[in-house]
Homo-oligomer: A and B are copies of this chain.
Amino acid sequence: MEITSETHSQHISRQFNQELEALKTHLMTMGGLVEQQVQEAIQALLEGDSRLAEKVRDRDRDVNAMQLRIDDECTRVLARRQPAASDLRLVLAVIRATADLERIGDEASKIARNALTLIDNGNNVRGLVEVRHISEHVRRMLRDALTAFARFDTELALRVVHEDESVDDEYGSAMRSLMTFMMEDSRAIGPVLNVMWILRALERVGDHADNLAEYVIYLVKGLDIRHMDTDQLDEEALTRKE
């Protein structure tokens, strides 16, 4: 069979599409791993399971290794394929997204380390109701942000951005309760601080999920909504043509 220049370029472009798909798949695999890390870190805390907490802490290495691999893949795609327009935006969004996923991994590992301290000291910990509640909220945000990325779903992405505000409110009120516990009983200060660090880590997970959602909008609409007010954002994102 004669290879015409057209079939050759179709072949190249099919390969290129496969490479872009592979990038997305690998990002989703990394996303799945960090979701599991957050879930198991919280489970370890709530069930007082120190072996699970150690597992989460140690598995952070795998998350880091995944980031390096995917970033490397992105760099190779940029160098060889020199993508433009929406393909370029996809590769850049993947690079940004791996950085956020890696940091979510760090936060999961921090949660696990604080859980270990609490378990080791056999503390009767207060504030776990708040932790459970906020952790469910941010885990849902993270799942939705990843789904939005996988499906290029900007509406779902916008919902995640709005959710982040309510997580911030819940976080503020949980912190105030914890401060009260400290004032009531000074022996509780150490363990309550550990719970505060855990809440702070969860709040950061919410921020990173929010970032992921913003990349989806950048990716699909070519619109960089980082640092926009959310009111401004709805209007911009919904009125702009795709």
In the assembled complex, A84 has its CB within 8 A of some CB on chain B:
yes
Interface-located stretch among A20-28, A159-167, A185-193: A185-193
Tell me the complex Cα distance, A84–B189, Å: 54
- List A43-95 residues whose CB lies under 8 Å from chain B: 61, 64-65, 67-68, 71-72, 75, 78-79, 82, 84-85, 88-89, 92, 95
Number of copies: 2
For A224, list chain B residues within 8 Å (CB). Answer: 68, 71-72
Given A64-B226, A99-B96, A193-B179: A79 touches B75 (CB 8 Å cut-off)? no
Closest to A99 in B: B99
Given A182-B186, A186-B183, verify A78-B68 contact (CB < 8 Å). no
Asked if A190 meets B186 with Cβ closer than 8 Å, knowing A79-B85, A79-B88, A88-B75, the reply is: no
Please classify the interface of chain A as helix (H, G, I), strand (E, B), loop, or mixed, using the class held by over half of its residues.
helix
Q: Min CB distance, A78 to chain B, in Å?
A: 6
Query: Which of B65, B78, B182 interacts with A227 by CB under 8 Å?
Result: B65
List the interface of chain A (C-beta within 8 A of B): 61, 64-65, 67-68, 71-72, 75, 78-79, 82, 84-85, 88-89, 92, 95-96, 99, 179, 182-183, 186, 189-190, 193, 200, 224, 226-227
Within the complex, which residue of B79, B92, B200, B227 is in contact with A64, where a contact is CB–CB below 8 Å?
Answer: B227
Q: Please name all residues of chain B whose beta carbon is closer than 8 Å to the beta carbon of A95 when the two chains form the complex.
A: 92, 95-96
16 pairs across A/B with beta carbons < 8 Å?
A61-B227, A64-B227, A67-B227, A68-B227, A75-B89, A75-B92, A78-B88, A79-B85, A82-B82, A95-B95, A99-B99, A179-B189, A182-B182, A182-B186, A182-B189, A200-B200
Q: How far in angstroms is the closest Cβ of chain B from A105?
A: 10
Residue of B nearest to A224 (CB): B68
Task: List the 3 closest pairs (A to B, CB-CB), nearest first.
Answer: A82-B82, A64-B227, A183-B186
Q: Which residues of B contact A61 (CB under 8 A)?
A: 227
CA distance A71 to B227 in the complex (A): 13
Q: Which B residues lie within 8 Å of A84 (CB)?
A: 79
